Amino acid sequence: MEKEKPKRTKNERATTCQMSSKTATRYATSPSLAAQNSGGFEGARPVTGGEREREEMSHIEPTRVMLGVNESTLKGYPHPSISSRRAFDWTLQKIVRDNTTGFKLLFLHVQVPDEDGSNDMDSIYASPDDFTDMRNREKTRGLHLLEFFVHCCHEIGVACEAWIRQGDPKEVICHEVKRVQPDFLVVGSRGLGPFQRVFVGTVSEFCVKHAECPVITIKRPVEETPEDPIDD
């Protein structure tokens, strides 16, 4: 004969009900827990691999990529130089790709002070405010250059920051790398030969040697090289 099961007391039945209630709550608040149990509650939806990956990625800090950008020597502000545009396009195509939330681009534009004032030889300065206006005009030009890159990032959903500094570009870029501490730096290169580098010098070559982070240099396409390779 089948052995009769012992009857549970009223307290034991109440405890069992409380435990079942807690378990149901855990399933309701944790879809992954429900998915792990084949006998889950009706309507529980398993977590897909893509959802789990996105959830994990949301807790990871984005990779911060600094790009040194400058204006075109041929067209002037607000047009970016060929090298800067190439470095930016390469970063989007080869590094960011479809992972727009996994990266943050940091655009740095360094303006070189015009020591001899040749760009404003026809201007007349009658008060200190005139010099302030000149500096403001130069900064505004730089902002229009940065606006191009920021607008492109917003169109595709990549987080970004942009700012302007003044000084020697290669020194300032390395200083900003030390201050901001990006994961790596991307700079464009004109691809000058050794003879040309002696007279002109290259920002990219200096940054490779002195920047306190990994540096990627992107050479501009041969078909886009101006007649005078020093131009950009």
Question: Mind listing the pLDDT tens digit for each residue in 181-191?
Answer: 999 999 988 76
Count of residues in the chain: 232
> Can you tell me the mean pLDDT for 107-121?
68
Q: How many CA atoms lie within 13 A of 36 on its CB side?
A: 6
User: What is the mean pLDDT of the segment spanning 154-174?
Assistant: 95
- Tell me where in the chain the CATH 3.40.50.620 domain(s) lie: 62-224
Mean pLDDT of 116-133: 53
Q: The domain 62-224 is classified under which CATH number: 3.40.47.10, 3.40.50.2300, 3.40.50.620, 3.90.550.10?
A: 3.40.50.620
Q: Is the dihedral of CA 200, 165, 94, 80 positive or negative?
A: negative
